[in-house]
Amino acid sequence: MQKNRQRDRSYQNVKKVIACVLSFIFTIIAIAVPAHADEKQVETTPSRLPLSKLEETIDAYVASYEKYTAAVSVVAIKDGETIVNKAYGYADIENQRKADTSTVFEWASISKLLVYTSVMQLVEQGKLDLETDIQEYLPEGFFKKLKYDEPITLLNLMHHNAGWEDQTPTEVYYYDENENVDLGETLRKNEPKQIYKPNSVVGYSNFGVGLGGYIVELVSGQPYYEYVNQHIFEPLHMNDTTVHPTGQDRPDIVQRRNEVEGYTKELKRIPENRVFVTFYPTGAAIGTAEDLGKFLAALMPVDDSHVLFAKRDTLDEMLSTSLYYDETSIPRFAHGFVEMEYGVPTLLHEGNLKGFSSKVVFDPASKFGMVVMTNIAFEEIYYYGLISKIFGNSTYVNSVTSEGGYFQSARRPAARFTDLFRQLDITKFSKAELSSLYNVVEHNGVVEKISYTPYMDYLPVSKWKVNLIVISFIPVALAIIFSLGALIGYLIRMLLNKLHKRGNHLTDFDKYHLAIIVAGALLPLNLLILHTRLPNYPAHSSIRINLMFNLLYVVLAVAYLGLLMYKLRKSSYSKKQKVMYIMSGISAFILAVFVVGWHLYV
């Protein structure tokens, strides 16, 4: 009996122990399951915005900026799925044509991501090597203007640090869709000067990326656009996008593109907003935001699927850091993709074309990304504002001892007429401003280079040079004032002679004198016209007459100076006449040196 009681007590104790263990397990499960469910419910964007409220947040953001909006298309991707695909506003404000998810936008420079992807595909196949001198892939003697012996590699093209000067807008764009633009011949014809040693300075280069597309063309044996169609667009079912130089392989997409107008930030329609890109792999893609979202999703596969490459390792390599900011461990480029710290580390690329702005940003770790496309030139509300709202703010802090100084973009046309206008764009940065830039390279209190944007470096300009540039404009201004004054004097004298019925007797040399002062008075007007037209991406053919006038002025000035020296020795003039002729000669010399020195004729 006692043994039975002991057995019962033991049994009861075991039951209690089992109950306690089960209770503990159930408690853990009860806690874990709701927590897990809550975690899913509060899954967020990088800025900690709940994904469940993402569409609502975007709707509200667009509504708050409606009066500044033409058309904007937004796509959000999470874990390979499209969670937002919406369009807002008007593709054509004047005709009240609303934008929708089938609206076609310009990719602009986001097109460059297709070049980088194509290159990496061929690297995977062993047909290209990122660190081989690209001259091994190009026809013999392709380059004519290289200054340095250091090799240029595909990585240099991806990093924009091959050292080339920038092209003028007139060389990058054209307007005639029937113009036969052969990529290789165009690159040869428009080869820029190499002004920096490779790997030393980042200066955004459309030429360099266009060259990368040409190498894809040569190695694959296909026109670049056909290669992209076959190896990127078709596998990803991107049926509403073309990267043909003028879109002629997809007339249906071109027709939809032509139904969209481009606007300024003030929502003024930009005339002739359909431009074609000379080095077309750098910016010719047009298509829907939804299609760009498909490309974005392929960059963030959720499993071992990797449509763009045969091996997942190749995708991982492409999205890994390949260039850091100088003397830091801060990532700058991942094989052409820009690396930027928002709330989390992201990869991105931006695009701006005449009347269009676009941006793609993604976080490979959380597999979240966004596409924003607008038909507004140099747009900022969505391009920067909406992206920051979803991804968080980007902040950089540098420890700077320098008090600041003057800086100039490394992306400049050093031997072309636009160099004058770039020289006038020298920027002064204070110590506080320097500390907030992406990166500052400083030694012993002297700033050697700053990275104002990921795409380009800014180099210091001495105060002496800044003052010299300013001072150099003084004689030019005096020469122009003299020419204008002399011309007005001539006109007044002719008018008085006519009123008093006196004859206007001009000697042969007086006619040359009048021609040079008229040309000198017209020169600043011609330069002003050039300057005001540049933001509109004029075709080179449309400004050729302006450049030819500048060259003609130089020829006329040389001829006048030669004739002046001859006439002063052979003919007798009054002291007043000699002073006027000589002063006009000095003015012509100053203006001619100005034109030649700033390459205002090429």
Phi, psi at 389, each rounded to 5°: -65, -35
Report the C-alpha dihedral over residues 61, 66, 72, 73, rounded to 10 degrees. Answer: 50
Per-residue tokens: 136:
């091994």
Where on the phi/psi map is residue 445: left (φ > 0), alpha (ψ -120 to 50), or beta? left
Walk along the chain (602 residues) in steps of 10 and give the mean pLDDT of each run.
41 44 40 42 86 97 96 97 98 97 98 98 98 98 96 98 90 82 92 96 97 98 98 98 96 97 96 92 97 98 88 96 95 97 95 96 97 96 95 82 90 82 82 88 91 92 87 92 92 80 68 91 93 83 91 95 89 85 95 91 82
Answer for the pair 78, 51: CB distance below 8 angstroms, yes or no.
Answer: yes
Spatial distance between the Cα atoms of 231 and 307, rounded to a whole number of angstroms: 9
Per-residue tokens: 265:
């930030």
- For position 502, what pLDDT does the model report? 67
Which pLDDT tens digit goes with each residue over 192-214? 999 999 999 999 999 999 999 99
Cβ neighbours of residue 518 closer than 8 Å, sequence gap 6 or more: 483, 487
Beta bridge partner(s), residue 333? 323, 338
Give the strand order in the sheet containing 368-374: 97-98, 81-92, 71-78, 368-374, 356-363, 345-353, 337-341, 331-334, 323-324
Spatial distance between the Cα atoms of 185 and 142, rounded to a whole number of angstroms: 10
Per-residue tokens: 18:
């089992």
Answer for the pair 364, 319: CB distance below 8 angstroms, yes or no.
Answer: yes
Beta bridge partner(s), residue 277? 173
Answer for the pair 105, 373: CB distance below 8 angstroms, yes or no.
Answer: yes
- For position 17, what pLDDT does the model report? 41
Answer for the pair 443, 490: CB distance below 8 angstroms, yes or no.
Answer: no
Answer for the pair 371, 74: CB distance below 8 angstroms, yes or no.
Answer: yes
- For position 42, what pLDDT does the model report? 66
